[in-house]
Amino acid sequence: MGAILIRGGRVVDPVLGLDALRDVLLRDGLVAEVAEHIAAPAGAEVLEAAGTVVAPGFIDMHVHLREPGHNHKETIASGCAAAVVGGFTAVACMPNTEPALDSPALIAEVLRLARAAGTARVYPIGAITRARKGVELAPFWRLHDAGAVAFSDDGNTVESARVLRQAALYARDVPGVFISHCEDGTLKGDAVMHEGEQSLRLGLAGSPGLAEDVIVARDLLIAGETGKPFHIAHLSTAMSVQLMLFARAQGIAATCEVTAHHLVLDDGHVRGFRADGKVNPPLRGDDDAAALRAAVREGTIDVFATDHAPHTREEKDRLLHDAPVGFSGLETAIGAYAAAVPDLPLARFVALLSTNPARILGVPGGTLAPGSPADVTLFADRAWTVDTSRFHSQGKNTPFDGATLPRRAVATIVGGRIVMHEGRLLETAAGA
């Protein structure tokens, strides 16, 4: 494999404590050197990076790739293409496929399809319970041995505290955090949006913030009692933030993520009985969104994650109560996070998108320290307008369609191969 010299970019690496103009040399799939000036080795490809930020590769730890079983919504190939176009060098994919990722053979199949796609790295997340039904425990060690990096029944909450506690005890010594989807089904009922003024005005069934809060509290207490590290997915309420602070003060091993849509949008986005704004957890009140933005600034939120949830147009066009939940997020993420918290220091932006997810998942990357994988994201503060017809994801369902966003990915390098440059996919062939 050849060498690539990334020349003259602003290198931002929270691990190295670096924010300065530097050259970066990649060789044999690894970072070889970061220095003020590096002469291009003979035969090296030179990537001019002036005007861009050069960061350790972004890792989206919450993505639905839909394969196996829901290939009409997304495939591993189309999802990975969307990932690298969006600036992600790696994604962790959720097990709510059909069948669910609850066996070593299915984990191996996801990894095989990802290798065949040959773009982003894919880290499968195994189920916590068989078929995500919340009853029997999944075989944690065997899933780990097959390549699962974490465990989750995402899309569903593990309803029984007893089952979740047993799972956490059984899996305590298995590497891999438990990722919690926090919605109490009894409080949520058949809600299609957040319970608040807007749901009252529309006459629609709402899910109160409390539906999230009680499960966040429960899962953090189970983390504390069992000693199993928990990661709370897509935080959406002001109270969840307070609960995270409480857990940390108790020394509980817990981390959390927030999506761009919960930072930028509120329940006012659910209009005209359309499902465009339908997502789980639902878009909340503007006070919740403001509390989440403050929590990002204050450092309570560890990770920016997309919860990329592609669905077909036909599915999202169904009647509100019938339509599926979620948004296609990979190709808008960098811009939407920058729009949400424009004053966030770049080192924090990179930590939330790279260093922290790498640490929480226990996967390589998150830094450009020499010897690290040659996974690099280049981005720039260049305004652009979202046009879903250009998406590489099969899912065009995003509330950001037509929005102008302030930041975008410029190039994505995975394992020392430039796979995306200026929005174009360059290498899709396998073999890295």
Q: Where do contacts with ligand DOR occur on this chain (CB under 6 A)?
A: 64, 96, 154-155, 181, 279-280, 307, 309, 324-326
Active-site option among 153, 219, 307, 375:
307
β-sheet bridge partners, residue 255: 231
Residue (87 or 324) nearer to ligand DOR, CB = 324
The full DSSP string for 149-218 is: -EEE-TTS----HHHHHHHHHHTTTSSS-EEE----HHHHTT-SEESSHHHHHHT--EE-HHHHHHHHHH
Cα dihedral: 74, 75, 81, 87 (round 10) = 60
Q: Please, what is the minimum distance in Å from the beta carbon of residue 279 to ligand DOR?
A: 4
Q: Which is nearer to ligand DOR, 47 or 233 (CB)?
A: 233
The residue among 181 and 392 lying less far from ligand DOR, judged by its C-beta, is 181
Q: Distances from the Cα of 117 to the Cαs of 114, 127, 221, 264, in angstroms?
A: 5, 23, 40, 32
Write down the least CB distance from residue 179 to ligand DOR, Å.
11
Q: At what angle do helices 161-170 and 209-226 cross, to 10 degrees?
A: 40
Which of 261/293 has CB closer to ligand DOR? 261
* Neighbouring C-alpha atoms within 13 Å toward the C-beta of 305: 30
Helices of type H across 64-103: 76-85
How far apart are CB 139 and ligand DOR at their closest, in Å?
23
Q: Is 211 exposed, middle or buried (0-12, 13-18, 19+ CB in 10 A)?
A: buried
Handedness of CA 128, 88, 397, 272 (dihedral sign): positive
Q: What is the smallest separation between the CB atom of 109 and ligand DOR, expressed in angstroms?
A: 19
Nearer to ligand DOR, 172 or 321 (CB): 321
Give dist(CA 420, CA 268) in Å, integer.
36
Tell me how far, at minimum, the Cβ of 178 lies from ligand DOR, in Å: 15
Is residue 381 part of the annotated active site? The answer reads no
Q: State how far Cα 342 lies from the chain centre.
A: 19
Q: How far is the CB of 210 from ligand DOR (least distance, A)?
A: 18
Beta bridge partners of 21: 10
185/342 with CB nearer ligand DOR: 185
For residues 325 and 426, which CB has a smaller minimum distance to ligand DOR in the complex? 325
Which residue shows structure tokens 């629609």? 204
| Shorter beta-carbon distance to ligand DOR: residue 5 or 309 | 309
Q: Residue 269 in contact with residue 277, Cβ under 8 Å?
A: yes
**Element holding 314 (H helix, E strand):** helix 313-316
Closest distance to ligand DOR from the beta carbon of 282 (Å) = 9
CA dihedral defined by 234, 189, 311, 116, rounded to 10 degrees? Answer: 60
Minimum distance from residue 189 beta carbon to ligand DOR (Å): 17
Closest residue to ligand DOR, judged by C-beta, is 326
Give the active site residues. Answer: 307
